[in-house]
Amino acid sequence: MASPRPSEDFARLAADCAGETVTFRRLLGDMTPRDQALLTLMLSAAFLHPVPMPGISTLFGAVIALCGWRMSRGKGPWIPARWIDKPLPARFLRAVFGVFARLLGKLESVLRPRARFLAAHPALRRANGAGLMFVGFLILVPLPPPTNFPPAIAGFLLSAGILEDDLLFVALGWLAVALNAVIFGLIAVYGLDAIGLLWDRLTAA
């Protein structure tokens, strides 16, 4: 039986977000290895929404980092007991998942298995896990909400590529990871003003 497409996964996730709160246990049930990439995809998507999520970025970033760490070691999905039943904002997540179900439905003509012999290779899967672990750490760093957006893009692209065995999206994900390394390196050296300075230089060029 063929695996559902990402748009179908997100439509199911949106339907599961009934009521005021929802948990990882309800969203993912008995997780399969495929759900590890789906989990990092959905948590990354949550930060591509314009509405900030105070208090949630640390948890979501930690889960992404944990999934990446386990993937880098060739291990399957696992969420600590203290996190799996933690209440999450169902209404917010329902809106996010609904938007991305529609967006992914349009992207799926481009997002598809591509160079699967490389995209699904265990060595690349482990490397991708390390990239997701890095992305998760960037998201959980206590910085203003807009700084979650760049690593979320990297996490979304990389997770989508892993989920669909698409080498193009994996490559785009790694490009975004490299750009994040530059952005957060500048922040570490020059502070948040570095982003404004970088933007001024780019727009003045």
Per-residue pLDDT, averaged over 45-74, amounts to: 83
Phi, psi dihedral angles at 193 (to 5 degrees): -65, -20
**pLDDT value at position 103?**
86
Q: Tell me how far CA of residue 116 lies from CA of 77, 81, 107, 112, 165, in angstroms.
A: 21, 34, 18, 10, 6
What whole-number percentage of the chain has pLDDT above 90?
33
Q: What is the pLDDT of residue 1?
A: 53
pLDDT tens track for 123-173: 999 999 999 999 999 998 887 767 888 999 999 999 999 989 999 999 999
Q: Give residue 181's pLDDT.
A: 95
Q: What is the Cα–Cα distance from 165 to 92, expressed in whole angstroms?
A: 29
Q: Could you list the beta-strand ranges (E) of the chain.
A: 21-22, 88-89
Which pTM was predicted? 0.83
145-175 burial, b at 16+ Cβ within 10 Å, e below that, comes to eebbebbbbbbbbbbbbbbbbbbbbbbbbbe
- Whether 205 has a pLDDT exceeding 60, the answer reads no
**Lowest pLDDT segment from 17-31, 45-59, 175-189:** 45-59
Q: Which residues pair with 22 in a beta bridge?
A: 88
Mean pLDDT of 12-41: 83
Write the single-letter amino acid at 58: T
With pLDDT > 70 as the criterion, what percentage of the chain qualifies? 87
User: CA–CA separation, 203 vs 188, rounded Å?
Assistant: 22
In the block, residue with structure tokens 């944990």: 66
Mean of pLDDT over the chain = 85
pLDDT at 68 over 90: yes
pLDDT at 2: 64
CB of 165 within 8 A of CB of 120? yes
The one-character DSSP state at 166 is B
Q: Per-residue pLDDT averaged across 184-188, rounded?
A: 86
Write the pLDDT tens digit of every residue in 41-55.
Answer: 988 988 887 666 666
> In the structure, what pLDDT confidence band is assigned to residue 30 with cuts at 50, 70 and 90?
low
